[in-house]
């Protein structure tokens, strides 16, 4: 069966509208960063980010698939895909809402009460509240259902004790959506409850973790007798696992990642042609690696197209989304390796290549490890028995 990868008339017109908006409205400081921006460039452009957020929010595009009554644009899967692709192609921030838009917002829309929607959704879109995710624990990462952080019901509150780890941005967050164990005697996928926790409550302690690259992206978070109102529970008590794994309204095509790795590769090609510190002339054999990486970038894009084509047909991608995540994250690491090969001995200096190389290490851990993704692909995609 022939596959048409071109735009329909509607999609072409919509793509043109998105491009026109980007050209006219994106602040100059947020256009594709120069090679010298380095670490922390985004924070230096904080004012421009605020301006960009306001412009995107005014269009309803921060959470485009959300219903209009909650500040979205009632956008279709394809329209959202095209918008994400164009934002990525232009090199401008697309995921402005962070975890609030990507994760907890859709979860509240699907499982929350009307009071919870009114309390949280508008604040998410306005950027008034920063969210973080409390899932992983020191003994429950890949096997998340083994989590042991306890929440004990005490009247109108839950009292939480335990620890979370690898919590991205916890030191900046105002709220955490987290999974806690409320019934220790139930099978591990049961007895789990989904709570919303104020990070400023007494008893919450955040300790940043320093990564290989010297950054403090992740954190440990400790809970000591932290009281959370029962009204902050999403869904039923002891049924939080099913809330936490909801897939509705999530953007899962990874087109931004697929385009992003190709843009990264294009940047390396420019550096190689300029022939300063990183030069094709100094290391001509590295050109062959660029060919392989370029082909792989196209494969990553096709995997993303496959996911969005399923969503258009009303299907929920499962192992197909895992294939996107696995391939794109490993490709990002291969491109980081390529960067070091291009720079040669200069890659041993703390520069763009070495920083990217160290930061890429976590890409096959965050968002579900390579082993987890392979397990999903093997069992659900290939029908192999569980080990």
pLDDT digits (tens, 9 = 90+) for 330-360: 999 999 999 888 888 777 777 778 888 888 8
**What pLDDT, on the 0 to 100 scale, is given for residue 333?**
94
Q: How confident is the model at residue 4 (pLDDT cuts 50, 70, 90)?
A: low
Question: What are the pLDDT digits (tens) for 127-175?
Answer: 889 999 999 999 887 788 899 999 999 999 999 999 999 899 999 999 9
pLDDT, mean of residues 209-230: 91
Active site residue 17: no
Residue 265 CA to residue 358 CA, distance in Å, equals 17
Does CATH number 1.10.540.10 belong to domain 9-96? yes
**What pLDDT, on the 0 to 100 scale, is given for residue 253?**
66
The 3 state secondary structure assigned to the chain is: CCCCCCCCHHHHHHHHHHHHHHHHHCCHHHCCCCCCCCCCHHHHCHHHHHHHHHHHHHCCCCCCCCCHHHCCCCCCHHHHHHHHHHHHHHCCCCCCCHHHHHHHHHHHHHHCCHHHHHHHHHHHHHCCCCEEEECCECCECCCHHHCCCEEEEECCEEEEEEEEECCCCHHHCCEEEEEEECCCCCCCCCCEEEEEEECCCCCEEEEEECCCCCCCCEEEEEEEEEEEEHHHEECCCCEHHHHHCCCCCCCCCCHHHHHHHHHHHHHHHHHHHHCCCCCCCCCCCHHHHHHHHHHHHHHHHHHHHHHHHHHHCCCCCCHHHHHHHHHHHHHHHHHHHHHHHHHHHHHHCCCHHHHHHHHHHHHHCCCCCHHHHHHHHHHHHCCCCCC
Q: Which residue has the higher pLDDT, 42 or 352?
A: 352
Q: Which neighbouring-strand residues pair with 204?
A: 223
Chain position carrying tokens 């294009």: 266
Residue 382 CA to residue 143 CA, distance in Å, equals 21
Chain position carrying tokens 């579900």: 368
Give yes or no for a contact between 259 and 81, defined as CB atoms under 8 angstroms apart.
Answer: no
The token duo for 368 is: 């579900």
Q: How confident is the model at residue 35 (pLDDT cuts 50, 70, 90)?
A: very low
The Cβ of residue 360 has, within 10 Å, a number of other Cβ atoms equal to: 20
Q: Which residue has the higher pLDDT, 315 or 282?
A: 315
The Cβ of residue 268 has, within 10 Å, a number of other Cβ atoms equal to: 25
Q: Residue 296, CB half-sphere, CA atoms under 13 Å: how many?
A: 22
Q: How confident is the model at residue 235 (pLDDT cuts 50, 70, 90)?
A: very high
Nearest to 227 by CA among 192, 180, 188, 191: 180
Residue 329 CA to residue 295 CA, distance in Å, equals 15
Q: If you average pLDDT over every residue of the chain, what do you get?
A: 86
Q: Residue 55, CB half-sphere, CA atoms under 13 Å: how many?
A: 17
pLDDT at 44 exceeding the cut of 70: no
Q: How confident is the model at residue 126 (pLDDT cuts 50, 70, 90)?
A: confident
Question: What are the pLDDT digits (tens) for 59-86?
Answer: 889 888 888 888 888 888 889 889 999 9
The predicted model scores a pTM of 0.83
Residue from 86, 89, 137, 251 carrying the catalytic annotation? 251
pLDDT, mean of residues 190-216: 92
pLDDT at 33 exceeding the cut of 60: no
pLDDT at 215 exceeding the cut of 90: no
Q: CA gyration radius for the chain?
A: 22
Class of domain 131-240 as given by CATH: mainly beta
Sketch the domain layout of the chain as residue ranges. Answer: 9-96, 131-240, 255-381
**Could you say which architecture CATH assigns to the domain 255-381?**
Up-down Bundle (1.20)
Give yes or no for a contact between 95 and 56, defined as CB atoms under 8 angstroms apart.
Answer: no
pLDDT, mean of residues 187-214: 92
pLDDT at 25 exceeding the cut of 90: yes
Q: How confident is the model at residue 3 (pLDDT cuts 50, 70, 90)?
A: low
């Amino acid at each position: 069966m022939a596959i048409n990868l071109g735009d329909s008339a509607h999609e072409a017109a919509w793509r043109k509208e998105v491009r026109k908006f980007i050209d006219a409205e994106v602040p100059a400081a947020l256009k594709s960063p120069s090679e010298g921006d380095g670490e922390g460039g985004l924070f230096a452009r904080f004012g421009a980010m605020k301006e960009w957020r306001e412009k995107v929010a005014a269009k309803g595009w921060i959470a485009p698939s959300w219903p209009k009554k909650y500040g979205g644009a009632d956008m279709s899967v394809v329209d959202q895909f095209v918008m994400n692709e164009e934002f990525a192609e232009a090199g401008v921030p697309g995921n402005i809402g962070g975890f609030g838009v990507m994760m907890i917002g859709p979860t509240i829309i699907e499982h929350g009460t009307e009071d919870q929607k009114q309390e949280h959704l508008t604040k998410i879109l306005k950027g008034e509240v920063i969210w973080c995710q409390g899932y992983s624990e020191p003994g429950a990462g890949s096997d998340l259902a083994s989590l042991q952080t306890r929440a004990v019901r005490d009247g109108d509150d839950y009292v939480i004790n335990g620890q979370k780890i690898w919590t991205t941005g916890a030191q900046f967050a105002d709220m955490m959506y987290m999974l806690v164990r409320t019934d220790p005697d139930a099978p591990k996928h049961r007895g789990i409850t989904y709570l919303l926790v104020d990070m400023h409550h007494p008893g919450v302690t955040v300790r940043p973790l320093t990564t290989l690259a010297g950054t403090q992206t992740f954190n440990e978070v400790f809970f000591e007798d932290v009281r959370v109102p029962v009204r902050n529970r999403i869904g039923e008590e002891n049924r939080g696992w099913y809330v936490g794994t909801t897939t509705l309204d999530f953007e899962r095509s990874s087109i931004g990642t697929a385009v992003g790795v190709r843009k990264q590769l294009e940047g390396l090609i420019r550096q190689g042609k300029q022939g300063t510190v990183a030069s094709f002339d100094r290391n001509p054999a590295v050109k062959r690696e660029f060919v392989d990486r370029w082909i792989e970038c196209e494969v990553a894009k096709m995997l993303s197209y496959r996911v969005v084509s399923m969503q258009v047909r009303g299907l929920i991608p499962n192992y197909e989304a895992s294939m996107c995540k696995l391939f794109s994250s490993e490709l990002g690491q291969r491109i980081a390796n390529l960067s070091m090969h291009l720079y040669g001995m200069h890659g041993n200096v703390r520069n763009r290549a070495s920083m990217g190389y160290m930061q890429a290490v976590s890409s096959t851990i965050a968002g579900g490890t390579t082993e987890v993704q392979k397990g999903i692909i093997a069992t659900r995609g290939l029908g192999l028995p569980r080990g």
